[in-house]
Amino acid sequence: METKVFQPDQLTAAAAELAAGELVAFPTETVYGLGADATNEAAVKKVYQAKGRPSDNPLIVHVADVATVKKYVATFPEKAVKLTQAFWPGSLTIILPLKPGAFSKTVTGGLNTAAFRNPRNQVTLDLIKKLGRPVVGPSANTSGKPSPTLAKHVLHDLAGKIAGVVDDGPTGVGLESTVIDLSGPTPTILRPGAVTKADIEAVIGSITADHHQVKADEVPKAPGMKYKHYAPNAQVYMTADADFPAAIAWAKTQQVPFGVLATDEILAGYPELEPTYRFSLGDSIVTASHHLFDGLRHFDQLPEVKLILAQTFSVQGLGAAYMNRLAKSAGQQHFEKTGGK
């Protein structure tokens, strides 16, 4: 099919595609999502088909307001009230128990819970309102690949497979939302994001974090817990600042083009590297988080690049989300563990 590019003033046409059971990618402050009417099981199944996504990987339901969530959940606890007041619209996804039959198992991965988010992007909020129903929205990319932060990334992966994409320019945060599970006795972060553990604890008190990789026979409660994610074609090696001299010396011996994904400060030390094989993460963890997926996709456009040296950061604050994504893109491979030193 032809994949249309909708501008923000063409939301009526985009909403009509969703209402007809088609897929339309949409912008958020985190990454672009692949939208389908959450109440239309046939449409939701198309999401898995277009992405090549495993069917037991649950989808996040995007809503325009808190009132919509309350229509579907069995309970809306006081902690959910406080978190939505503090962080919605925004980069926080909340898992809650559902009323029986609220959504099809295609949406929930067969679980009796669902993950809800109210994105901080007015274009998408208006799109959901025009549709009049919640919208599922996993990242709008081929499953396992880096998430899209630009409409062109969506088109690279999904052109011809979806009806359209609403182009609202680059996303702001660049990493997917924090996911917190409120369906059990203890609030637990299942995926770190821009809303940090400290941010949440300041609102609802002590919580736990569990970013473990789900086993083969388990059903994940949130995306990113079980399957390969964020991986470009080249092998990524997590590289600490102090290890870059040795890492680059080693990479030069491998007889293949390699990419360097690092801050301007690191890149400035290697002027001999070809500009095409350098990608700037800016000057801080904030800019690095914003540019990580874009950088991984940049090197995916260069098939000759077989390895990527990517800068690590402290796991404090936003660094926890950055390192969570980087570790998965690298398959947990650190430079110092490659035998290259």
Residue 258: the pLDDT is 97
CA separation for the pair 143, 153 (Å, rounded)? 13
The pLDDT of residue 57: 78
Task: Decide: 130 and 69 in contact? Cβ < 8 Å.
Answer: no
Q: For the sheet containing 164-166, what is the strand order? A: 4-6, 164-166, 24-26, 33-37, 135-136, 60-62, 113-117, 92-97, 178-181, 188-191, 208-209
**Which one, of 70, 47, 84, 54, lies nearest residue 162 by Cα?**
47
> Where does the pLDDT of residue 216 fall: very low under 50, low under 70, confident under 90, or very high at 90 and above?
low
Region 244-265: mean pLDDT is 96
> Residue 121 — φ and ψ, nearest 5°?
-150, 115
CATH of domain 235-337: 3.40.50.11030
Question: Is pLDDT above 60 for 153?
Answer: yes
User: Given this model, what pLDDT does residue 58 score?
Assistant: 87
Q: Does domain 4-209 bear CATH number 3.90.870.10?
A: yes
Residue with tokens 């990517």: 310
User: Rounded to 5 degrees, what are φ and ψ at 117?
Assistant: -145, 145
pLDDT in tens, 123-145: 999 999 999 999 999 999 998 89
Q: List pLDDT tens digits, range 297-335.
A: 999 999 999 999 999 999 999 999 999 999 999 999 999
- What was the pLDDT predicted at 54? 77
* Runs of H (alpha helix) within the chain: 11-19, 41-51, 66-72, 78-87, 105-108, 122-131, 151-158, 197-204, 244-252, 264-267, 285-300, 318-329
Could you read off the pLDDT of 56-107 as tens digits, one per residue? 778 999 999 999 999 999 999 999 999 999 999 999 999 999 999 999 999 9
Is the per-residue pLDDT at 218 higher than 70?
A: no
Give residue 217's pLDDT: 61
| Closest by Cα among 259, 324, 313, 316 to 288 | 313
- What percentage of the chain carries pLDDT values higher than 70? 93
Contacts of residue 187, Cβ cutoff 8 Å, sequence gap at least 6 = 79, 180, 181, 200, 204, 207, 208
Q: Please report the pLDDT score of residue 228 as a whole number.
A: 57
| Residue-range domain boundaries for the chain | 4-209, 235-337
Q: Please tell me the distance from the alpha carbon of residue 143 to that of residue 162, in angstroms, as a whole number.
A: 14
186, exposed or middle or buried, with CB in 10 Å at 0-12, 13-18, 19+?
Answer: exposed
Nearest-angstrom CA–CA distance, 268 and 262 = 10
Please tell me the pTM assigned to this model: 0.92
